Amino acid sequence: MSTPAIRLKDVSIRFPIRKGVLRRVVGEVRAVDSISFDINEGETVGLVGESGSGKSTTGRGLLGLSHLSGGTVECFGQDLAALKRDRGALPRISQLVFQDPYASLNPRMTIGETLGEVLHVHRLVPPAEIGARVAKLLDDVGLRRETAERHPHALSGGQRQRVAIARALAIEPKFIVLDEVVSALDVSIQGQIVNLLQDLQRQRNLTYLFITHDLSIVRHVSHSIVVLYGGQIMEMGPRDSLFAQPLHPYTSALLSAVPVPDPRIERARARLEVRSEPPDPSAPLPGCRFQRSCAFAISRCQIERPVLRPIGSHDSRHVAACHRMDEPLVREALSRASHGALS
């Protein structure tokens, strides 16, 4: 394998907590705490975690929208910091699509104007050709050309999300961060957008970071998965390996909590409970981030932070950070909770 398209190395993103009239810094929130992973060209990494896990902040950091407090990001062989200094270079490589296209599209501009503006600002095509390029972009995302004349309010949620994708594609980026792009859509429409994104990826060899809390969708779209909790990676690995045999108690708890549209499975399942609330990112505990919620925590988990590692003869790309994951009893309990009735 050649070098990956995107490489994060020990990336940390912290936000200062300010207080008082003088806005003195009294602490910091460790939103993302020393994470490293790669995304191969033309592939999708699914970044999953619950609210506050740092998944959106990671995505913003990759696009240069959040300042990195530590670590480096390599973007198609170039350093992110260098790309940021060269104005306009980063947006030409990487783009972002948000959850709510209604908030990210200008309500007073027609779709044609919105897309045309991007082409104009980045001087991607001569002014005379902008109309034709807009029509082509609408074609590419499965919208009628007449959509160019319409305003965002006249479109459905799915159509607006197609426009947001067209706007990202206008710049012909190589990498797109997709932040909860189907979460606000109805189930019957989600599939339309997911299929479109997968088609575009195959046609254009696009690289995606797919950020979501929805494990069913992430399983469908991702080549590999990164599981975040409290700003740290709990587990990551190739899709099939991770879903077939989750190593970390948190991943198992997540999988066991997803409701399955089948009453026979749903009623027979054993759920692995998450016991407390997520950790406070401004006052991180020593040891494992998941310790307070973990059903398997022992005293070692409160002292020593576990490192990401594979287990036994398992796929070496599939790693997790847990002290107890090799213990047969723990393995058995995890496998029962996340699968049991599923397989």
Partner 1 sequence: MTMHSNAAPSPAAPILEVSHLGVAYGNDARKVQVVHDVSLAVSPGEALGIVGESGCGKSQTMLAVLRLLPRGGRVSGGAVRFDGRDVLALSARDVRGIRGHGLALISQDALTALNPAMTIGTQMAEPLIHYDGVSGAQARKRCAELLDLVGIPGATSRLGSYPHELSGGMRQRALIAMAISANPKVLIADEPTTALDVTTQAQILQLIDRLRRDLGMALILITHDLGVVAGVTDRVAVMYAGRVVETATTEDLFASPRHPYTKALLDSTARIEGQVSDRLSPIPGLPPDPRSPVSGCAFHPRCSYVRDVCHQDLPQLVDGIAGGEHPVRCFVDPFVTAPARRAGEAAR
Q: Point out which residues bind partner 1 (CB under 8 A).
A: 50-51, 142-144, 156, 158, 186-192, 194-196, 198, 213-217, 219-220, 239-240, 243, 253-271, 273-274, 277, 342-343
Q: How far is the CB of 268 from partner 1 (least distance, A)?
A: 7
Q: How far is the CB of 258 from partner 1 (least distance, A)?
A: 5
Indicate the residue among 81 and 244 with the shorter CB distance to partner 1. Answer: 244
Indicate the residue among 58 and 251 with the shorter CB distance to partner 1. Answer: 251
Q: How far is the CB of 263 from partner 1 (least distance, A)?
A: 5
The one-letter amino acid at 78: Q
Indicate the residue among 17 and 268 with the shorter CB distance to partner 1. Answer: 268
* Measured torsion, CA atoms of residues 63, 68, 71, 75, in degrees rounded to the nearest 10: 10
Question: For residue 34, with 0-12 CB atoms within 10 Å meaning exposed, 13-18 middle and 19 or more buried, which class applies?
Answer: middle
The kind and range of the H/E element at 251 are helix 249-257
* Measured torsion, CA atoms of residues 48, 214, 5, 94, in degrees rounded to the nearest 10: -110
Indicate the residue among 23 and 267 with the shorter CB distance to partner 1. Answer: 267
Q: How far is the CB of 265 from partner 1 (least distance, A)?
A: 7
Query: Please, are residues 42 and 33 in contact by the beta-carbon 8 Å criterion?
Result: no
Indicate the residue among 10 and 146 with the shorter CB distance to partner 1. Answer: 146
Query: Please, are residues 212 and 183 in contact by the beta-carbon 8 Å criterion?
Result: yes
- Token reading at 114: 């919105």
Measured at the CA of 85, the angle between CA 8 and CA 133, to 5 degrees, comes to 90
Indicate the residue among 71 and 157 with the shorter CB distance to partner 1. Answer: 157
Closest by alpha carbon to 283, among 16, 105, 4, 29?
29
What is residue 143's three-state secondary structure?
Answer: coil
Q: How far is the CB of 269 from partner 1 (least distance, A)?
A: 7
Indicate the residue among 107 and 263 with the shorter CB distance to partner 1. Answer: 263
Q: How far is the CB of 143 from partner 1 (least distance, A)?
A: 6
Q: How far is the CB of 33 from partner 1 (least distance, A)?
A: 19
Beta strands in the chain (DSSP E): 6-19, 24-39, 44-48, 70-75, 78-79, 94-97, 175-179, 207-212, 224-229, 232-238, 319-320
